[in-house]
Amino acid sequence: MRSSCVRGSMVLSPALLPRLLTHAARWGTSGTRLGGCKGLWSSPRGLALAGETAQPVPLPSQARVVICGGGIVGTSVAYHLAKLGWTEIVLLEQGRLGAGTTRLCAGIVSVAKPISIECKMADYSNSLYERLEEETGVKTGYVKTGSLCLAQNQDRFLSLKRLASRLKVMGIACNVIKPKDVSKLHPLVNIHDLVGALHLPGDAVVSSPDVNHALATAAASHGVQIYERTTVNRVMLDKGHVTAVETDRGAIECEYFVNCAGQWAYELGQASETKVSVPLHGCEHFYLLSKPPAEPLQPTTPVVMDMDGRIYVRAWQGGILSGGFEKNPKPIFTEGRNQLEIQNMQEDWDHFEPMLTALLRRMPELEACEIHQLVNCPESFTPDMRCLMGESPGAHGYFVLAGMNASGLTFAGGAGKYLAEWMTYGYPTANVWPLDIKRFGNLQSSRTFLRHRVMEVMPLLYNLKVPRWDFQTGRQLRTSPLYDRLDTQGARWMEKHGFERAKYFVPAGKDLLSLDASKTFYKPDWFDIVGAEVKCCKEAVCVIDMSSFTKFEVTSSDDQALELLQYLCANDLDVPVGHIVHTGMLNERGGYENDCSVVRIKKNSFFIISPTDQQVHCWSWLKKHMPKDPNLHLEDVSWKYTALNLIGPRAMDVLGELSYVSMTPEHFPSLFCKEMSVGYANGIRVMSMTHTGEPGFMLYIPIEYALHVYNEVMSVGQKYGIRNAGYYALRSLRIEKFFAFWGQDLDPFTTPLECGREFRVKFDTDIDFLGRASLLQQRQEGVSRRFIMLVLEDHDTELDLWPWWGEPIYRNGELCGTTTSSAYSYTLERHVCLGFVSPPSLDGTPATVTPDFINRGDYEVDIAGQRYPAKAKLYPFSSLFAQQRRRKDNMELSNFQGK
């Protein structure tokens, strides 16, 4: 590749990199930037753009909503709010509209994303950009090129097949193709090392600045006021609510604020009167522009994503645009730096060399092409590779949409739509919990944590992600007091909401290195280890440290605590002291905002136990609905208690010896809580539940007693065959018992009636609760989807691909739903999947699910394109296959001694 900006001939050969580096400064600053003059945004008629005239247009003194950020994300939010009928919308941009990352965006719109909600957003963005030119009259450069996701190995090919199955459920066209078909679609691709590819014919390319221009034009035509060169200094709040925005040109009173500040979203959040955590960090991102080869590429040439080579390639003005996600990214530091400094970052040929080598290996014919430019386009990344969306938990009316992880253009249309719906209706029309900013807390706001994590996140975008992979950076942030003790006993760890949790325990003598590296779509190397833990849970006793669970206490001087929880919870909490109630906290639609266990500790004191990642969301939900009453108190006590789960028939013997109290069901009934002494420790909250359906007890232990109680339990438990167990065993146990978990099976769109939990709803009382009206209507009309259990029938655990989650479910050959979670049942010796199914709609009207529909169908589960027959039930397979694994009447504990 030769550079038109350098004297002489510069070609894209790695051998010429030293020469390129010698001349980098000369041609890097003089070359035309992406899109040439076309990338410079010109103001649409009717926009109030401050700074374009000698007398800047004054800011309004008040507005309903102020949006900070004039990139494609901010203009999309403005566009969609205006479409929903909002007025008095003000959009502020510190520089020029679309002059940041939007101006330098590679322009690729692809649905090849790892989770379903991201695929939905990308699909909507694609359709929006396609019709935007007709709607606004602004050319957007939209070209439906399609894309090719290449696979250099079988594991990558399997991941693409799984993606294809998921996309087909959503109605998105895709085809798994052979290498020779790749050559037919893209003439430059070298296919010698490929095993296959995924073709996405609906993917497209656009001019990102022009799409931004079109969105701004449409927004302005609906009354949105846009002001350039206006810097937001901070957001003012009063009693936790947004009241005004302070800028360098004066203040604007407002009810809502939307932080779409991209790489500056973190600093802007920290600058508010009440700090808002926006966990993201910027990294440099490079892509190369070439001049056309001898035979210029057509504009409709498919985009190529070679994730194993860490590169993407698209046609650009007859030549190519190629970038990637390297293994050693370069974080950038935005503190105290303005947009102009960031957007003029320098090229780095040394850093780009591995991606250049990968490009020429994939497309050798490009070696003689002339170089146009190497572009440094900074992008912002989040701790889990998912964007940040939603209302801040600590500031009502403060919304965030940022951290697009190099997919801002792909997500902007859909994300803007969902956020506008959120602000209008209280929640979007789709489940966006995986993107909800409340999945993070202040603990992820450390700059050091973010810098380290984004250096791992950026390469992970193209890494092969197999089930149960874990982040390696930012670990040991939150740990149980037992962490060191469990670690020395072979615990292998995973992280949830910053908390370290044991997956399983490696027995002495196992090859730890190979076990930790065994990440696969097939049977994992920990299979037998987890099986032994499950067996121990069923035949003796196991201990699982579950300290990560979220724990709240609600107390009051009178009945205020009961009245609040009776309104928020679907089940009846007016139970005797010491009783435990499993219940959901529902929204107005009857969907689950939280799934929890509530213990009535005292007459006016309640102990709430929720999933780990519900800590911020559940707190926010409770605070949102709490009345302003000084006699009503909510406290997060997650850090005060260590939680030990004793699972198994011998748990009662262990606790009986340690407490000198009979723990039999006659003396300690199910779903009961009592404060007891265990060993020398007092005040232990012992609860007869295990979250698995197996017999046993949860112990909530004040942290100062945790090590003592654990040591006593393990010591006394030796004669009963006690051993440690992890969350993988817990998962297997709960799934075979048909237990649904929030965030996996339950979400804000799932009701108790749809998942067989009507018995946990207080329909037989006159007590009003949030969601009651919707549930009564649904009970009268019937449900159109149903949570079921599927046991795979003709599936070889040793040789076949495993189901994990998101697999399509077919009934009588027709698509009817997807799985939400899955595990191997060591009791049934089968794979068990949980998921939702729906009957085909009649004339566009959802049909009602009946027991006959469930029981009389022939079911199959699609795993990476291969279907496996399955037996479906609406209740647990408690007795199925019992003849294959009947429990012994007289337990032989000798095999457990010393293990």
The CATH number of residue 66's host domain is 3.50.50.60
Nearest to 459 by CA among 328, 282, 304, 348: 328
Q: Name the one residue in this structure whose structure tokens are 């510069």.
A: 10
Nearest to 655 by CA among 620, 681, 637, 628: 681
Which tokens go with 565? 């929880």
Residue type, 382: T
Give the separation between CA 498 and CA 500, rounded to whole angstroms: 7
Q: What is the DSSP letter of 447?
A: H
User: Which CATH number is 816's domain given?
Assistant: 2.40.30.110
Whether the Cβ atoms of residue 396 and residue 369 lie closer than 8 Å to each other:
no
Whether residue 232 is contained in a domain is answered as yes
What φ, ψ does residue 55 adopt, rounded to 5°?
-110, 100
Nearest to 686 by CA among 649, 723, 636, 643: 643
Output the 3-class SS for 199-221. Answer: EECCCEECCHHHHHHHHHHHHHH
Nearest to 498 by CA among 384, 608, 400, 329: 384
Which segments within 761-828 are labelled E, that is strand? 786-792, 808-811, 814-825
CA distances from 642 to 80, 479, 481, 672, 712 (A): 46, 10, 7, 19, 15
At 469 the pLDDT is 84
At 722 the pLDDT is 96
Nearest to 175 by CA among 143, 154, 194, 203: 203
At 565 the pLDDT is 97
Q: Is 626 helix (H, G, I), strand (E, B) or coil?
A: coil
Whether residue 499 is contained in a domain is answered as no
The number of angstroms, rounded, from the C-alpha of 301 to the middle of its chain's C-alpha atoms is 32
Give the separation between CA 626 and CA 643, rounded to whole angstroms: 27
Q: Name the one residue in this structure whose structure tokens are 């009846």.
A: 572
Whether the Cβ atoms of residue 642 and residue 482 lie closer than 8 Å to each other:
yes
- Identify the segments of the chain with pLDDT beneath 70: 1-55, 334-344, 511-519, 877-899
- For residue range 246-270, what is the model confidence (pLDDT) as tens digits? 999 999 999 999 999 999 999 999 9
Sign of CA dihedral 158, 387, 454, 110: positive
Whether the Cβ atoms of residue 370 and residue 5 lie closer than 8 Å to each other:
no
The count of C-alpha atoms lying within 13 angstroms of the C-alpha of 690, restricted to the half-sphere facing its C-beta, is 26
Whether residue 819 is contained in a domain is answered as yes
Whether residue 397 is contained in a domain is answered as no
At 31 the pLDDT is 36
Residue 570 belongs to domain spanning: 550-637
Q: Is 587 helix (H, G, I), strand (E, B) or coil?
A: coil
Q: Name the one residue in this structure whose structure tokens are 């190979």.
A: 514
Which tokens go with 287? 């892509």
- Cα dihedral 434, 437, 442, 443 in deg (nearest 10): 20
Output the 3-class SS for 513-539. Answer: HHHHCCCCCCCCCCHHHHHHHHHHHHH
Give the separation between CA 745 and CA 751, rounded to whole angstroms: 11
Whether residue 193 is contained in a domain is answered as yes
Q: Name the one residue in this structure whose structure tokens are 């102020």.
A: 66
Which tokens go with 125? 């963005």
Whether the Cβ atoms of residue 108 and residue 184 lie closer than 8 Å to each other:
no
Which tokens go with 66? 């102020």
The number of angstroms, rounded, from the C-alpha of 373 to the middle of its chain's C-alpha atoms is 35
What φ, ψ does residue 455 adopt, rounded to 5°?
-70, -20
Whether residue 500 is contained in a domain is answered as no
Sign of CA dihedral 626, 627, 629, 632: negative
At 841 the pLDDT is 82
Give the separation between CA 298 and CA 781, rounded to whole angstroms: 54
Give the separation between CA 125 and CA 649, rounded to whole angstroms: 54
Q: Is 532 exposed, middle or buried (0-12, 13-18, 19+ CB in 10 A)?
A: buried
Q: Name the one residue in this structure whose structure tokens are 């992600």.
A: 465
Q: Is 344 exposed, middle or buried (0-12, 13-18, 19+ CB in 10 A)?
A: exposed
Which tokens go with 422? 């959120």
At 513 the pLDDT is 57
Whether residue 620 is contained in a domain is answered as yes
Q: Name the one residue in this structure whose structure tokens are 């050693």.
A: 328
Sign of CA dihedral 702, 706, 708, 709: positive
Please say which residue of 606, 637, 668 terminates a domain: 637
User: Which CATH number is 596's domain given?
Assistant: 3.30.70.1400
CA distances from 595 to 518, 608, 753, 788, 835 (A): 33, 10, 14, 18, 17
Whether the Cβ atoms of residue 279 and residue 440 lie closer than 8 Å to each other:
yes
Please say which residue of 613, 637, 661 terminates a domain: 637
Q: What is the DSSP letter of 628?
A: S
Whether residue 98 is contained in a domain is answered as yes
Residue 445 host element (H or E): none
Helices (H), 695-756: 706-717, 727-736
Euclidean distance between the first and final Cα of the chain, in Å? 65
Give the separation between CA 398 and CA 414, rounded to whole angstroms: 20
Which tokens go with 500? 């370290």
Give the separation between CA 229 and CA 92, rounded to whole angstroms: 8
Q: pTM for the full model?
A: 0.91
Please say which residue of 317, 346, 381 terminates a domain: 381
Beta bridge partners of 115: none
Q: What count of residues does the chain have?
A: 899
Q: Domains in the chain: how many in total?
A: 3
